[in-house]
Each structure stands twice: as structure tokens, then as C-alpha cells.
Chain A
């Protein structure tokens, strides 16, 4: 801090003492610039990178804390198990399916909502606030509400509304759903789409509002239809925002634990990798296996993150150029 102060307040000093210790001064200056950065950087390296290195090491060990005698080097055995064990392989497929379905559905619905909210209408601010609400309920609480208040087969709101609508037509045999036991993965997907659509909507709305209106107006002058304007102007402009929303959404949803844990407790083929890993080390005490599965998640995330980083970078460069 103090060296940085010195740098700002003593520009004359540099002229007074020229070449002799110029190199030392420049080095000191570089460190003065770096110093404020270091605490955050060092802290993050210790708390996030070090544990992952340990995970990597453990993933090559045979280590079940319940049978300490058998601990030893396992080579790629854990990785083979992750890829061949039916439960863990199922967890990999579930993770991919869950992530892709939630991201695509919430992107499409979010795009529709963003296009609507980009127009001016009465009470737009309030409508926007209502739309953000799903994203602001604590995730465990949201999952609990879906499980007990909405999807419960006997008194949940969804079946309740079905009963009510059918009774309006004089029927006392309304269709009653039981998603949680008949299509549990669908239940998880629906609750996550509900929760993540606002996120996509906000990103896409930011994209829409940064759209240069002069080209749109020029297109209108030339008699372009709204669809043509959307297809050839809006959508290309939104592409980066769609990519960013999709990739960030994917990175967050791959890691989802709360919804799976709360809605189904991983039952009936809904266990994704985070939940499976949690179970493998927390209940089964299979440390080596859990670590290998963790490394698999990281490899998958790196694949997605590489694209995400590129997208963020292009937006970032645009901003830096301003």
C-alpha cells in the first residue's frame, strides 16, 4: 500500500535520481503493483488448487477408511471402476442428461421471456421482479417446496389444480400425477428449469439491451419483417450471450447437489456425479473411488469451461476495447 502511495505522489522523484538504480526501482515498482494482488492469489491457490492436487493423488490410491489395512497404490483401478460400475456410469449419464436438458430448456424459455421483457408494457418492472423470484429462493428451500407443496401426489398444488379444473367440468376422476416416483428425473429437471430460467433471462435481457438499435431501425426502414430482424440481427447479436448463459449454466448445473439431494435423494436413477461422489466418500468411505469420480467431473468441466472461457474472453475483450 505505502509503496503504491509513493509511486503516485512522487513523480518528480524519478527525474531527480535517474539511471543508477533504475532497474531496482522498476523491480520495486512491479512488486508494488503486484502486492495488492498477492493475498487473494495465494489464498486461492492454497484453498482450491492444493486440495485438488490431493484429490488427484488419492484417486490413484486404494483407500477405504473402514478397512485401513488395504490402503495402497491402485494405479488406474479407481478410474476403471468409475467408468464400469453400473451405478457410477449411470451417474455420469444422468449428469449429462440433466445438464443438457436443464440448460437447453431454460435457455429457450429464458430467451422467450427476455424478448417479452425487452418490450415496454405496464408493470414491466414488477413482472421482471416476479420472474427473478425463483432464482432467489434458497435452493434447498426451493427443492423442498417442489417436493412437498407442488409435486406431492396427494395434496401438492399441481394435482390440486388438476382436481379443481376437472371438478369445474363435473368430473370427480381428475388425472393425478406422481412425478417424484414415476419420473423422478423429470421432476428434478422441471424444478431446475424453473430455477435457472431467470438466470438465462437476465443474461439475454442484458444482451438485448446492449443491441445497437440503429441497425434495427435501418432494417425497419427497409421494410424487414420482425422475424427477419430477429433472425438476422437480434439472434447473431445474442449468440455470445446465449453461449455465455449456456456454458455458465452448464458449469453451475453440472455441480448441482441441492435439488438431487432434496427431491429424490439420488433414488431411481437421479443420482448425478456430485451426489454419487458425496455418497461414495461420506457413506461408503471409498476415498479413492470418490476422488477418481471427482477427477472425472473436473475433466468434464474443463471441456465445457474451455468453451466458456473463450466466450467470456471475447465479451471481455470487447469490454476492454471500449
Chain B
């Protein structure tokens, strides 16, 4: 409907004969199919302004330390990989690899756990909805709205008592609980898109649950499941507070590693930027891949 209407709008003013002046003017400003140069220039300027810190981070990471810390900035300075070599090199003292591996482990495994728990739950909430399914949905949502700080002390005390402090598995469980509500909400909205007629047709044809899941539900839900997984991955990868409190030397994640640069002085600006680029790369890739569904995930599936 909405894709058809602009075309209709284009035809109608030409057909009718009376006062066209007002219409034309209105149309030229509002018609979404028309190129809008002024808006385009403004949008591009703002987009560049917003992207500048990111672009500057990337550029600085390819500068030498002396070129990185100048005033005015040396944009045209020679490019070098020194900062990256320094970041990954043993010479710098602490290797970032264990923290990167910890982050990958925690993010990937918690995402897998989330999917294992969320897919059946979303199935029970959409395709074969349980009674009072909206209440259950809102319970899930309410757990997400509770600030982490309100539960972190008991979690820390529990981990300390059972010896799970600085243990990646405990962090994985925490990340699973952190992402599960979002995943259930997103996944429910994706599974709700499976047409009821298709499910009924499959049932009439005598397809069992496994066949129905594979042939009817999976093709519709797969892109949504992939997007949900990427978003859970991003949230786990980004998380700092839980990791900072619950891990330390052995299980420290990449954001915890980054906090080592908080008080780092200007001498290592290029290295700070290189570290920020390396640690942000997985999220940037996952985020751009899932950008259409990102808002759905962040708004807990309420907005499409």
C-alpha cells in the first residue's frame, strides 16, 4: 500500500485541473521519491560530523606516536602500522590476546546459550502461545529493566563463595541472563511473522513438529535468529561492569583490558586508538550486518 501511494500522488495532480500551485509546491517538498538536495547536504554534513571521532580514531591508529599527538592535528602524516605492532607486540608488556579470546569465548558461548533457551521460549509465546503469554513477555522485559548494579553485589559474593570469581563460565551465565529477555522479545516478533495459514497447511498435510520447524518456521525465522545472535554478541562484547567486578587476571575481557588505558598518558595515543579499533572491529562488523534489526533488538522488538 505505502509503496504504491507515492506513484498515485504523482498521477493525481496532473489529472486534476484546478489550483495546482499549492499542490506542486507541497509535493516537491514532501514527495519521498524525489531527490532532496538540501536535506541530502545537511544529512551528509551531520553524518560526517558524527562519524568524525570514529574516522579520527582509525586515522590516528595508523599514525606514529609523534604524529598522533600534535596540535594542530597532522592529518596528512605518514601512515604506519607501528601502533598495531606495539599493541599486539610482547614488548608492550601485556598481550591483548588472552582478553580478546576471553571476550570471544564469553560472547559466542553466551549467545549460543541464549539461542538454546530463547528459541523454544519464543515458540511457546508465539506459534503455540501459552495462556497469559503477554504477562510472561512483560516479566521477561521487566528483568531487563532492572539495573545490573542492583544485583551485582550478591552475584559477586556468590561467585567469591563458590570460587567462581575470575571464571569465564560464570561470566557466560551472567551474559546469558543479560541477553535472554531481549532475545525472547526479538525472536517472538520474528516467529509471529510466520503465517498461520502456512502452519495450518503443514498440520493438515500431517507434518510433525520437526518437519514444520525445518520447512515452515526456519526459513521465515532464520534471518531474525541471525540478527538476534549478532545483537546478543554485541551486548556481551561491549559489557564492562560485570566483567570488571566478576573477572580479573585470568578471565578479563577486552573492555576490561581497555580500562588499562584509562589513565594512559598522551605518549601512547596511537596505541590507544589502535586498541580501540581492534576491540571495536567485531562489533562494527556485527552491527553493520544487523543494522536493520538493531533497532528492533534495542527497543525489545516493540518497533520494526
Are the chains A and B members of one assembly? Answer: yes
Binding site for B on A (CB under 8 A): 1, 4-5, 8-9, 11, 30, 33-37, 39-41, 43-44, 47-52, 54-55, 58, 112-113, 116-124, 127-142, 144-150, 152, 154-157, 159-161, 163-164, 167, 194, 197-199, 202-203, 205-207, 210, 212-214, 216-217, 220-221, 223-226, 229, 241, 244-245, 248, 251, 254-255, 257-258, 261-262, 265, 273-274, 277-278, 281-282, 287, 290-291, 293-295, 297-298, 301-302, 305, 308-309, 311-313, 315-316, 319
Whether B35 lies near A144 (C-beta < 8 A) is: no
| Cα distance A290–B245 in the bound complex, in angstroms | 14
Interface size on B, residues (CB 8 A): 128
For A40, give its contact among B118, B128, B280 (CB under 8 Å).
Answer: B118
Is B30 an interface residue when CB atoms closer than 8 A count as contact?
yes
Give complex CA distance A315, B8 in Å.
29
What B residues does A221 contact at CB under 8 A?
Answer: 12, 23
Q: In the complex, what distance in Å separates the CA atom of A312 from the CA atom of B185?
A: 11
Q: Give A133 to B147 CA distance when docked, in angstroms.
A: 25
Q: Which residue of B lies closest to A302 (CB)?
A: B145
* Main SS at interface, chain B: helix
Q: Which residues of A contact B209 (CB under 8 A)?
A: 1, 4-5, 8-9
Contact A51 B155 (CB under 8 A): yes
Decide if B72 touches A167 in the complex (CB within 8 Å): yes
Residue from the list A8, A257, A297 in contact with B203, Cβ < 8 A = A8
A97 to chain B, nearest CB (A): 17
A203 pairs with B299, CB closer than 8 A: yes
Per the 8 Å Cβ criterion, residues 148-189 of B in contact with A are: 148-158, 173-174, 176-177, 180-181, 184, 189
Asked whether A120 lies within 8 Å of B153 as measured between CB atoms, the reply is: no
B contact set with A: CB distance below 8 Å: 1-2, 5-6, 8-9, 12, 19, 22-23, 26-27, 29-30, 32-37, 39-40, 42-44, 46-48, 50-54, 56-57, 60, 68-73, 117-118, 120-121, 123-125, 128-131, 134, 136-143, 145-158, 173-174, 176-177, 180-181, 184, 189, 192, 203, 206-210, 212, 234, 237-238, 240-241, 244-245, 254-255, 258-259, 261-262, 264, 266, 269, 272-273, 275-277, 279-280, 283-284, 287-288, 291, 294-295, 298-300, 302-304
Instruction: Check if B33 sits within 8 Å of A261, measured CB to CB.
Output: no
Contact B255–A140 (Cβ < 8 Å): yes
Q: B146 touching A149 by the CB < 8 A rule?
A: no
B262 CB, min distance to chain A CBs, angstroms: 5
Cβ contact within 8 Å between A144 and B46 = no
Tell me whether A155 and B70 are in contact (CB under 8 A).
Answer: yes
- Residues of A near B48 (CB, < 8 A) are 130
With A11-B203, A261-B240 in contact, is A58–B153 under 8 Å at CB? yes
**Subset of 13 A-B contacts with CB under 8 Å:** A33-B129, A36-B120, A39-B120, A40-B117, A44-B181, A119-B39, A136-B284, A139-B255, A147-B262, A157-B73, A160-B72, A220-B30, A312-B300
Query: Are B153 and A55 in contact, CB atoms less than 8 angstroms apart?
Result: yes
- Residues of A with C-beta under 8 A to B279: 138, 141
Contacts of B30 in A (CB 8 A): 216, 220, 226, 229
A30 to chain B, nearest CB (A): 7
**What separation, in Å, do the CA atoms of A17 and B20 have in the docked complex?**
72
CB neighbours (8 Å) of A133 from chain B are 50-51, 54, 284
Query: Residue on A with the closest CB to B44?
Result: A127
Q: Is the CB of A134 within 8 A of B71?
A: no
Q: Which residue of B lies closest to A176 (CB)?
A: B71
Bound CA–CA A152/B70 (angstroms): 11
A120 touches B69 (CB 8 A): no
Residues on A with C-beta less than 8 A from B52 are 157
Nearest residue, chain B, Cβ from A53: B154
Q: In the complex, are the beta carbons of A137 and B54 less than 8 A apart?
A: yes
Tell me if A295 and B150 are in contact (CB < 8 A): yes
Contact status of A137 and B283, CB under 8 A, knowing A41-B121, A203-B295, A224-B26: yes
Contact of A116 among B42, B139, B259 (CB under 8 A): B42
Inter-chain contacts of A298 with B (CB < 8 A): 146-147, 150
Check B29 against A217 for contact (C-beta < 8 Å). no
Contact at B288–A47, with CB atoms within 8 Å? no
Tell me the smallest distance from the CB of B35 to a CB of chain A, in Å.
6
With both beta carbons as reference points, the residue of chain A lying nearest to B177 in the complex is identified as A47
State whether A223 touches B26 (Cβ < 8 A).
Answer: yes
B169 to chain A, nearest CB (A): 13
Name the A residues within 8 Å of B158 (CB-CB): 51
